[in-house]
Amino acid sequence: METNAKSKLFCQTQLPIQKMKLALPFLLLLGLVACRPDEEVQQPVSVEHAKVLILNEGNYNFGNGSLSKYNETSKVIENKVFQANNQGRPIGDVVQSAVQIGNELFIIVNNSSKIEIVDPTTLSAIASIHQLNSPRYMVALNSSKAYVSDLYENKIYIINPSARTILGTIDTKGWIEEMTIVGKKLYAAHVDSNQVWLIDTDNDQILHKINTHEQPQFIEMDRDSNVWVSCSGGLSGGKSALYRIDHTTDSIILVLEGNASQKFGEIEMNGSKDEIYYLGEDGLYRLNINTMTPSTTPIIAKGNRLFYGFSIHPKTNEIYICDAIDYQQKGVVYRYNYTGNQIDVFKVGIIPGDVFFIE
């Protein structure tokens, strides 16, 4: 891996501030800078409980990130719902991720350097947390303590979600991506050091560091409270890999290495947390944590589509896949059942990166 500054600059140019998709062609990026998609006027939408939200990142520096609301029963999609229900105010620049804490939804807006807090029923803004640099992901220990990773700040923010205040920081000397909490331990993907950092949530001190393949990015916890980590392999062409870490001993149970045709990208668990899904080179794959034998055939083939992100419904195990198309026009989301049969497809905002299921 090259120097941190150069790596991050390269990633930023290629939309990592969005979701670190490192293979976006340079010429396409020039088009992104030169061509700003046309805006449209969005009418106010209903305030019924929106259980499925699509987080549309928008183009970096254009401030056209948005939220879309999807009704699973009627299959009706409504776009720009935050803007429509907040007096026309857009949500900001690069809608990165979201987490629900109690009856509030915390939406991380990366390049706007903030966390927007909204009512999950009405999607109306409640408050916001600023004084962040480039926030990426948030994970909550409880209603009064949460952690927020950051791309450039070389630290993890410690936040009180209820008070909307920053309690402190943890020095990481590098870039942190996804995190998860198991018991009293925070597991954080430290991209720059090619490690998973373990942090004591009682005193916020570093407990241990686990070496991995290059660029660990995504983290999930399974039904046994063991931790799965996906490593992209980095810009130097290293092998991608999928790790399983024992949460009691913090030792590595399993390492699956990818190859030219079988790469490990974003990962998600199913509702019962006994199956792990991952984006590979040719589509979406599924792995049972008991057999731990990767399939050679995707359950959903990518074809000529641009799979940019995906989510698994925690109750139905339905699969939602985001297609960014060309990073300029409105993207689409595909909805599949467990066996991979398509249920629906609908158009959303620019660069859909994640689908969030409100409790």
For residue 31, the model assigns a pLDDT of 41
Question: 157 and 258 share a domain?
Answer: yes
> Domain holding 153: CATH number?
2.130.10.10
Question: 125 and 148 share a domain?
Answer: no
- For the stretch 208-237, pLDDT in tens is 999 999 999 999 999 999 999 999 998 878
For residue 261, the model assigns a pLDDT of 66
For 58, the domain range is 43-130+314-359
**Contact present, 358 and 59 (Cβ < 8 Å):** no
Q: Is 211 contained in some domain?
A: yes
Question: 162 and 257 share a domain?
Answer: yes
Question: 70 and 219 share a domain?
Answer: no
* Residues 230, 244: Cα–Cα separation, whole Å: 9
Which of 256, 282, 303 is the C-terminal boundary of a domain? 303
Strand partners, 169: 157
Question: 333 and 263 share a domain?
Answer: no
For residue 21, the model assigns a pLDDT of 44
Question: 221 and 318 share a domain?
Answer: no
Q: Is 183 contained in some domain?
A: yes
Question: 190 and 122 share a domain?
Answer: no
Q: How many domains does the chain have?
A: 2
The dihedral through the CA atoms of 135, 137, 141, 142 has a sign that is: positive
Question: 258 and 348 share a domain?
Answer: no
For residue 236, the model assigns a pLDDT of 79
* Residues 351, 359: Cα–Cα separation, whole Å: 24
Question: 150 and 292 share a domain?
Answer: yes
**Which regions of the chain are under pLDDT 70?**
1-50, 260-261
* Residues 19, 217: Cα–Cα separation, whole Å: 10
* Residues 259, 236: Cα–Cα separation, whole Å: 14
Question: 172 and 291 share a domain?
Answer: yes
Question: 87 and 192 share a domain?
Answer: no
**Contact present, 284 and 267 (Cβ < 8 Å):** no
